[in-house]
Structure 1
Amino acid sequence: MAAPDRDREPEFQRIQRRFAAHLRDPDRHPAPEGIEERRLAVYRNLFFNNINGFLEKGFPVLRALHDEPAWRRLVRTFFEAHTSRSPYFLEIGAEFVTFLAEEYRPEEGAPPFLAELAHYEWMEVVLETADAPALDGTTVDGDPLSGVPCLSPLHAVLQYRWPVHRIGPEHRPTEPPPRPVWLLIYRGADERVAFMEINAATARLLALIGEHPTDSGERLLARLGEEIGHPDPAALRAFGADLLAGLRQRGLILGIREGRSAN
């Protein structure tokens, strides 16, 4: 697809582009002629402060790790350098996460976990604002081992190099742990977003529930045992029973459907 011919743009579009470029980076892009500096300052502050305020609320831990000058430099770099893929204001958080993961060149001495921490905080916002699921063909009562456990879609299984759920002003790790960190973040029955640290086996069981939506809990545990080569099926079944009961208590299992057994 050919690039737009800027020479043929209407004059008002050229002015709009110059005005937008100036608002994003006034040091490098002069304002269009004929606009009073006082008015330009109002627009510059308004646009930047709106973005800054949204990011401060959406990424409170990330904000707390920066002093005021460092934070404003980070937001300013995002504001000036990132080209958003979405025109919606509510997608600013996702754009910021993309910027940190793919485009940002951290300052010397910046924490190495910024991108993962931002993603973790953004996922909380995603789950807070997601539409609540509806029960479909499930019963609230039932045994999640003999029946099919139906997971709420309001959850995410996340893997990180850094323990992002523990990071804060008083805890700034400089080296990642030897093993990846698995987190289950979810919106529970009380409509609050929470998280729990899980292990790789639990993460895989949750993935299997989604991959085999007609399997009973027993069948899912049998699949898990086959994959990891677990030597004690009875112990694995007990682990699975406790785990599924805990997920139901937290509101992650919405109900039970009839399904295939493990045999």
Structure 2
Amino acid sequence: MRNSRPKVDFKAKQLEFAAYIRDPDRNPMPLGIKKKRMQMYRQLFFNNVEGFLAGNFPVIRHLLNDQQWLALAQDFFAHHHCSSPYFSEIPEEFIDYLQNERQNLDDLPFLLELAHYEWVEMALSIAKDNSLENDAIDWANSLHSNIQVSPLAWPLAYSFPVHKISPQFVPLTAPISPTFLIVYRDKSDDVHFLEITPTTYRLLEVIQENANATVESSLMQVAQEAQHSNPELIINTGIQILKGLVDKNIVVITRPN
């Protein structure tokens, strides 16, 4: 005798289950499951995600009151479909959500930039790139040496001074001048942030854009772009900047092949 019980569409059940957990206010509770149990599942999943967000975006968490923060976390939880199953990638998914999905005119104007700034520290701390070592540098004859930016040093540009934002400093209008930073991981695997000038930021960009960059070619390009009347002054100043960056292993200078 055949079993007369109807077949269960497990995929449909999973979708119902997930929809309710994501947003119980807009989706019906799946049939056949006790309400108390579903609420427990819902709370467990949401609390894990919310706690992970709070731990990775502490400044944003402190800027928002409880109601604002929970509404933001709930909107992300309900509407963003993560492409990765790993908890360590939730912060990057959150940035993707803020950049491409979030539409709330009441949000702080720097929310996306601040989230990115907070994400960078975690992302660089777990980056799998290897640090590069500088050769012993003869600065007097360094112009023809090869130069590259360390893979563990990331130049950053923001409209807002994100490194200064706190509950005591909440700028609602971007200043005229952008903020340039570099985040780097030292030999002890500690992550540091350093505010840099627009010229230094452009120099690092030039080095990154040219696979076979030399010290001279990089400094000359910056001097030409600035249309400076005394390129030699730019080069001499640039050498001093590079010395500081080398000391922090932000840039790596090697002898030409």
Check whether TM > 0.5.
Answer: yes
Aligned counterpart, 2:81: 83
What is the alpha-carbon distance in structure 2 between the residues aligned to residue 215 and residue 178 of structure 1? 32
What is the alpha-carbon distance in structure 2 between the residues aligned to residue 241 and residue 152 of structure 1? 17
What is the alpha-carbon distance in structure 2 between the residues aligned to residue 223 and residue 191 of structure 1? 32
Shift of 1:10: 6.6
Aligned counterpart, 2:24: 26
Which runs of structure 2 are paired with 1:196-211 in the superposition (5 Å)?
196-211=194-209
Q: 2:56–2:122: 8 Å Cα contact kept in structure 1?
A: yes
Give ranges in structure 2 of 5+ residues lacking alignment.
Answer: 1-6
Runs of 4+ in 1 over 4 A off after TM superposition: none
Which runs of structure 2 are paired with 1:124-143 in the superposition (5 Å)?
124-135=121-132, 140-143=135-138
Q: 1:59–1:122: 8 Å Cα contact kept in structure 2?
A: yes
Match 1:117 to one of 114, 117, 128:
114
The answer on 1:60 being equivalent to 2:58 is yes
Shift of 1:211: 2.3
What is the alpha-carbon distance in structure 2 between the residues aligned to residue 252 and residue 106 of structure 1? 38
What is the alpha-carbon distance in structure 1 between the residues aligned to residue 99 and residue 213 of structure 2? 37
Shift of 1:214: 2.5
Aligned counterpart, 2:184: 186
1:15-66 per-residue CA deviation (whole Å, 9 max, x = no partner) reads: 0000000000011111211112222122111100110111111111111101
Please identify, of 221-230 and 208-217, the stretch whose mean Cα deviation from structure 2 is larger: 208-217
What is the alpha-carbon distance in structure 2 between the residues aligned to residue 38 and residue 198 of structure 1? 54
TM-score scaled by length of structure 2:
0.89
Shift of 1:223: 1.8
The answer on 1:45 being equivalent to 2:51 is no
1:178-217 per-residue CA deviation (whole Å, 9 max, x = no partner) reads: 1222221221233221112222221121112122233321
Q: 1:116–1:162: 8 Å Cα contact kept in structure 2?
A: yes
Match 1:232 to one of 227, 230, 234:
230
Amino acid at match of 1:37: K
The answer on 1:12 being equivalent to 2:33 is no
Q: 2:148–2:213: 8 Å Cα contact kept in structure 1?
A: no
What is the alpha-carbon distance in structure 2 between the residues aligned to residue 148 and residue 35 of structure 1? 65
What is the alpha-carbon distance in structure 2 between the residues aligned to residue 12 and residue 187 of structure 1? 47
Cα separation, partners in 2 of 1:77 and 1:253, compared to 1, 3 Å = same
Q: 1:184–1:195: 8 Å Cα contact kept in structure 2?
A: yes
Give ranges in structure 1 of 5+ residues lacking alignment.
Answer: 1-8
TM-score scaled by length of structure 1:
0.87
Q: 2:224–2:231: 8 Å Cα contact kept in structure 1?
A: no
